[in-house]
Chain A
Amino acid sequence: MQEVKNRALALLKDGTVKRVLGWRIGENTYDPEPAFFESEEDMQTFVYNNFCAANLSKYMIEASKLEGKTLVCLKPCDSYSFNQLLSEHRVDREKTYIIGVGCKGKLSIENVKRAGVKGILSVNDTDPLQVETLYGNTEVSYKAAMLDRCHVCKGKEHVVYDELIGESEDTSTADRFAQVQMIEAMSPAEKFAFFQKELSKCIRCNACRNVCPACSCRKCVFDSDKFDSAQKANVDSFEEKMFHIIRAFHVAGRCTDCGECSRVCPQGIPLHLFNRKFIKDINTLYGEYQAGADAEARGPLTSFTADDAEPSVVAEGGTK
């Protein structure tokens, strides 16, 4: 979107910001990469299109350590992550200039491929997507190519920004917790089989952890010897469970449900299910809570009420 680019360039030129954190145009429309831009020349490769799915808020942790202000482009859902990081003192608001960029639902080339398209040579980002392939030209509807998370978008309002550019469109068509409920309805054996199958694919690449804005530990507990838990590979099926349960637990009440974990998983494991299960439980048991909506709010795991549900609520089916 030219407007974002022009504005970012103007702010860079007038010295308001020292650098711009956005996306650099890739080899194709669908592979823009997160990038820092420091000069006008560099800005020529800046892009903001519907394939710019990456949540840039986590890059602000490192950018906050740099001298001068960084302009960052945040989509509505990214702004929640930024706010959460802010509440945990991991980013510096003073050093951040936020352009809240509009979002009409982000596209995933994986989903285009999932629709059966092979050998993609070029693709545009409008509805429907015109795809040129090695094996002929085809069309894919925008909706089919949209990231799964955008179908259950939590809203297109930015919760923190300095200025807003571009329009957003509501893309939410499904219930965010439908998948979770589907699993909850299964028998223990079916649930176990479902997760066993999914998690057996895990290769412990840590992409989910490293992309997650809530997983912002300097050193992950699974990389340190503090718990005798340092593991690198899928040695036994237990370890994936341990890793994913604990990871979800550590981000419980802090996860904004940005969906990056599922987006980046090379094995397509629906990792967001763990986070959503916690979010759903928190909402049911402790009242509606949206991490990152309010940088001043106290998280559900660092607060309590005297009459909270007892853990036996689980056996009684109260978390279904």
Chain B
Amino acid sequence: MQRIGVFVCHCGSNIAATVDVKKVAEMARLEPGVVFADDYQYMCSEAGQAKIGAAIKEYNLTGLVVCSCSPRMHEATFRKCAERYGLNPYMVEIANIREHCSWIHKDMEEATQKAVILARAAIAKVNLNAPLQAGESRVTKRALVIGGGIAGIQTALDIADAGYEVDIVEKTPSIGGRMSQLDKTFPTLDCSACILTPKMVDAAGHEKIKIYTYSEVEKVSGFVGDFTVDIRKKARSVDEAKCTGCGVCQEKCPSKKTPSEFNRGLNNRSAIYTPFAQAIPNVPVIDREACIKFKTGKCGVCEKVCQAGAINYAQEDEIITEKYGAIVVATGFDTIKLDKYDEYAYSQSKDVITSLELERIMNAAGPTKGHLERLSDGKAPKEIVFVQCVGSRCSDERGKPYCSKICCMYTAKHAMLIRDKYPDVNVTVFYIDVRTPGKNFDEFYRRAVEEYGVNYIKGQVGKVAPQPDGSLLVQGSDLIDNKQIKIKADMVVLATAIEPNQGVRNIATMLTASIDTNNFLTEAHPKLRPVESPTAGVFLSGVCQGPKDIPETVSQAGAAAVKVIGLLAKDKLTTNPCTAQADELLCNGCSNCAKVCPYGAITYETRQVNDHGIREDRRIAVVNKALCQGCGACTVTCPSGAMDLQGFSNRQLIAEVDAICR
């Protein structure tokens, strides 16, 4: 049986004016377990807290009920107070007789009666409280960033600059990501590579940053502050330590028929290759599926020409196991496949291209050396049509329901650049809406229309039909003039929807981070915790969380870095003691609790239990206290009541219900 002290606060006149505080104390004294009850002007004051302290000592109290303002206001205060006087802080319950009573009721008798009942409920609960200890867990002061695009690079740089070790794991042979494929960036039109490359170099040269390219995360275990990650470093077939990056091997390689991933398949690359000239590391990889040596055993040209002797055909995948305190997901995006959009003739004509392909065409290092030309015949186009929202804002299952966010701006950029460089080319843009919120964005778009004379038509394109003469007949509607439009175009550019990178689902599963229906990672709170995943210690950076442009990505990357730094700065993490716990004698091991846990805090282990003399191996749910946030979803899913929540246990809540209803 508890020895409970009840303390009724007047809160000046805030409570006392409408609640008879003496009466509340008097009634509380009659409740089971209560050995002391008193009222005071301001319980939260130093003097009020001293009164509580004195009562704890004098009456040997084991639990406290404070009838006062909202627990959201002073629960922490009274918990600290209890702790100061030698009581477990979780032996305190608050009866909210201010916000939920005195402030909303006018009739004194009625308000007093309600206050008595609220106190009764709190007393009933405290009778069942048990001392709880906040646990501690250690923090490994190293972060992992998955993805080496601009988001990942920025996050890594910010974390490293704060003095913490960071590893970047990048799937492709080089860091740089999508941004490295872009030609110019909006709204300033500066060269993408010019602003990205220095960052890549910084990251590569940073003493706190280690970069694993051509590598993938294979396994993640552990929890916030203490993750263990297996990284598969794929066999590069080139010794990174020896390679000087001279590039001779790529020139001499006889296998040159593999579509270049970097150039979106618009031209070919060799079997041994670096994706692009500024690649970091500047060390090629051998694409074993394309390499003649690997396919037939004959060739070995690269090995012969490599003066550094860096070629190593026998190299094998390597598994690196490393510990991290925090993990940032920055896996970025890709454009959707267009096979369901036959009406745009993407697969039928080489001159129907995606915007990302146009970036490569416009780029001086691209397949056309930066000349705007048709890929079919190399002729300069005179009439270009841009189609917006290809697969974005789509109501059927062919595309995506969301707005890809960046297309309006990059199309304005493309249109402007083309009109600037080739004033004789006619540019028409079909759009549903033009969305340009952002600093200097709308100004940018208006320049395209007003200064560069880009022809914007509100309406959708119904069909692109390749003509025998090699032109493309674009049929669309103009919703403003309400007419059908036909344009004989030389080139059609599709603003293709973006979607999260394919691998993200697998990564999310490994991290137990949740994913929405569009495969974007879910944030812990859409407004208030946008860079944290619901899984503690996992953070989100860049487009993996939702469509963003570069400035937004970089700011989010910085925000994620700050969250990581905040975590790594701690030596130990204090865990919330109000967590779920499974009773091993009642647990069925059915796995339903794990299914509703938003934090992946529940795992199962087979354990021998002694159930009243019967010893058997059982599958039992285990709650990771460091991950559990105490929502209680699992407790209701559990039919046997094996899963319970400390601090809000089934019996405590039932006791409150009973006290209120009696």
Q: Mark B566-598, 1 if CB is under 8 A from A, else 0.
A: 000000000000000001011111111001100
* CB-nearest residue of chain A to B651: A228
Assembly CA distance A109 to B641 (angstroms): 38
Contacts A224-B641, A226-B641 given; does A90 touch B590 at CB 8 Å: yes
B637 touches A302 (CB 8 A): yes
Assembly CA distance A227 to B586 (angstroms): 13
Residues of B within 8 A of A90 (CB): 588-590
Q: How far is the CB of A47 from chain B (nearest CB, A)?
A: 32
**Residue from A220, A224, A250, A302 in contact with B596 in the complex, judged by beta carbons closer than 8 Å:** A302
Q: Mark A211-249, 1 if CB is under 8 A from B, else 0.
A: 000001111110010111000000000000000000000
Q: Is B640 located at the chain interface by the 8 A CB criterion?
A: yes
Assembly CA distance A218 to B619 (angstroms): 12
Residues of A within 8 A of B589 (CB): 88-90
A226 touches B586 (CB 8 A): yes
Residues of A within 8 A of B20 (CB): none
B637 touches A218 (CB 8 A): no
* CB-nearest residue of chain A to B639: A250
Residues of B within 8 A of A224 (CB): 586, 640-641
* CB-nearest residue of chain A to B618: A218
Contacts A89-B590, A226-B641 given; does A302 touch B654 at CB 8 Å: no
Residues of A within 8 A of B595 (CB): 298-299, 302-303
Assembly CA distance A219 to B612 (angstroms): 12
Q: Is A186 located at the chain interface by the 8 A CB criterion?
A: no
Q: How far is the CB of B610 from chain A (nearest CB, A)?
A: 13
B592 touches A226 (CB 8 A): no
Q: Which residues B633-659 have CB closer than 8 A to chain A?
A: 637, 639-642, 644, 650-651, 654
B651 touches A89 (CB 8 A): no
Residues of A within 8 A of B420 (CB): none
A218 touches B596 (CB 8 A): no
Q: Is A301 located at the chain interface by the 8 A CB criterion?
A: yes
Assembly CA distance A299 to B596 (angstroms): 11
Q: How far is the CB of A185 from chain B (nearest CB, A)?
A: 31
Q: Is B605 located at the chain interface by the 8 A CB criterion?
A: no
Q: Is B251 located at the chain interface by the 8 A CB criterion?
A: no
B588 touches A227 (CB 8 A): no
Q: Is A65 located at the chain interface by the 8 A CB criterion?
A: yes
Assembly CA distance A256 to B611 (angstroms): 29
Q: Mark A241-274, 1 if CB is under 8 A from B, else 0.
A: 0000000001100000000000000000000000
Contacts A217-B588, A219-B586, A221-B641 given; does A89 touch B650 at CB 8 Å: no
* CB-nearest residue of chain B to A215: B639
Q: How far is the CB of B194 from chain A (nearest CB, A)?
A: 42
Q: Which residues A124-163 have CB closer than 8 A to chain B?
A: none
Assembly CA distance A221 to B583 (angstroms): 12
Contacts A88-B590, A299-B592 given; does A227 touch B651 at CB 8 Å: yes
Q: Is B616 located at the chain interface by the 8 A CB criterion?
A: yes
* CB-nearest residue of chain A to B604: A89
Residues of B within 8 A of A220 (CB): 640
A65 touches B651 (CB 8 A): no
Contacts A298-B595, A301-B637 given; does A226 touch B651 at CB 8 Å: yes
Assembly CA distance A220 to B586 (angstroms): 8
B592 touches A227 (CB 8 A): no
Q: How far is the CB of B279 from chain A (nearest CB, A)?
A: 41
Determine the interface band of chain B, counting residues with CB < 8 A from chain A: 20 to 34
Q: Which residues B596-641 have CB closer than 8 A to chain A?
A: 596, 604, 611, 616, 619, 637, 639-641
B640 touches A88 (CB 8 A): no
Q: Mark A71-96, 1 if CB is under 8 A from B, else 0.
A: 00000000000000001111000000
Residues of A within 8 A of B611 (CB): 218
Contacts A88-B592, A90-B590, A302-B595 given; does A217 touch B651 at CB 8 Å: no
Assembly CA distance A217 to B586 (angstroms): 8
* CB-nearest residue of chain B to A217: B640
Q: Which residues B83-103 have CB closer than 8 A to chain A?
A: none
A219 touches B654 (CB 8 A): no
B590 touches A221 (CB 8 A): no
**Residue from B596, B604, B641 in contact with A227 in the complex, judged by beta carbons closer than 8 Å:** B641
Assembly CA distance A251 to B651 (angstroms): 22
Residues of A within 8 A of B592 (CB): 88, 299, 302
Contacts A90-B588, A227-B650, A228-B651 given; does A221 touch B596 at CB 8 Å: no
* CB-nearest residue of chain B to A61: B588
Assembly CA distance A298 to B591 (angstroms): 11
A88 touches B651 (CB 8 A): no
Assembly CA distance A224 to B585 (angstroms): 11
Q: How far is the CB of B343 from chain A (nearest CB, A)?
A: 29
Residues of B within 8 A of A228 (CB): 651, 654
Residues of A within 8 A of B640 (CB): 217-221, 224, 226
A227 touches B654 (CB 8 A): yes
Q: How far is the CB of B380 from chain A (nearest CB, A)?
A: 49
- Most chain A beta carbons < 10 A, residue from B588, B640, B654: B640
A226 touches B591 (CB 8 A): no
Assembly CA distance A221 to B644 (angstroms): 12
Assembly CA distance A218 to B589 (angstroms): 10
Q: How far is the CB of B452 from chain A (nearest CB, A)?
A: 41
Assembly CA distance A89 to B617 (angstroms): 13
Q: How far is the CB of B513 from chain A (nearest CB, A)?
A: 17
A89 touches B616 (CB 8 A): no
Residues of B within 8 A of A217 (CB): 586, 588, 639-640
Assembly CA distance A221 to B586 (angstroms): 9
* CB-nearest residue of chain B to A304: B596
Q: How far is the CB of B648 from chain A (nearest CB, A)?
A: 14
- Most chain B beta carbons < 10 A, residue from A298, A301, A302: A302
B586 touches A218 (CB 8 A): yes
Q: How far is the CB of B128 from chain A (nearest CB, A)?
A: 10
Assembly CA distance A43 to B642 (angstroms): 40
Assembly CA distance A227 to B641 (angstroms): 8
Q: Which residues A28-87 have CB closer than 8 A to chain B?
A: 65, 87
Residues of A within 8 A of B591 (CB): 87-89
Residues of A within 8 A of B604 (CB): 89
Assembly CA distance A65 to B654 (angstroms): 36
Q: How far is the CB of A236 from chain B (nearest CB, A)?
A: 15
Assembly CA distance A88 to B654 (angstroms): 28
Assembly CA distance A224 to B592 (angstroms): 20
**Residue from B585, B637, B644 in contact with A219 in the complex, judged by beta carbons closer than 8 Å:** B585
Q: How far is the CB of A297 from chain B (nearest CB, A)?
A: 11
Residues of B within 8 A of A302 (CB): 592, 595-596, 637
* CB-nearest residue of chain B to A221: B641
Assembly CA distance A301 to B591 (angstroms): 13
Contacts A217-B639, A302-B596, A302-B637 given; does A226 touch B644 at CB 8 Å: yes
Q: How far is the CB of A223 from chain B (nearest CB, A)?
A: 9
* CB-nearest residue of chain A to B633: A302
* CB-nearest residue of chain A to B617: A65
Contacts A226-B651, A227-B651 given; does A89 touch B586 at CB 8 Å: no
B616 touches A65 (CB 8 A): yes
Contacts A89-B619, A224-B641 given; does A216 touch B588 at CB 8 Å: yes
* CB-nearest residue of chain B to A214: B639
B639 touches A221 (CB 8 A): yes
* CB-nearest residue of chain A to B595: A302
Residues of A within 8 A of B654 (CB): 227-228
A-B contact pairs, 11 of them (CB 8 A): A88-B589, A89-B619, A90-B590, A216-B588, A218-B640, A221-B639, A224-B640, A226-B640, A226-B642, A228-B654, A302-B592
8 tightest A-B CB contacts, nearest first: A226-B641, A88-B590, A250-B639, A302-B595, A217-B640, A221-B641, A302-B596, A227-B650
Report B's interface with A, CB cutoff 8 A. 583, 585-592, 595-596, 604, 611, 616, 619, 637, 639-642, 644, 650-651, 654
Report A's interface with B, CB cutoff 8 A. 65, 87-90, 216-221, 224, 226-228, 250-251, 298-299, 301-303
- Can you name 13 extra interface pairs (CB under 8 A) apart from A90-B589, A226-B583, A298-B595? A88-B589, A218-B585, A218-B586, A218-B588, A218-B611, A220-B640, A221-B640, A224-B586, A226-B642, A228-B654, A299-B592, A301-B637, A302-B592
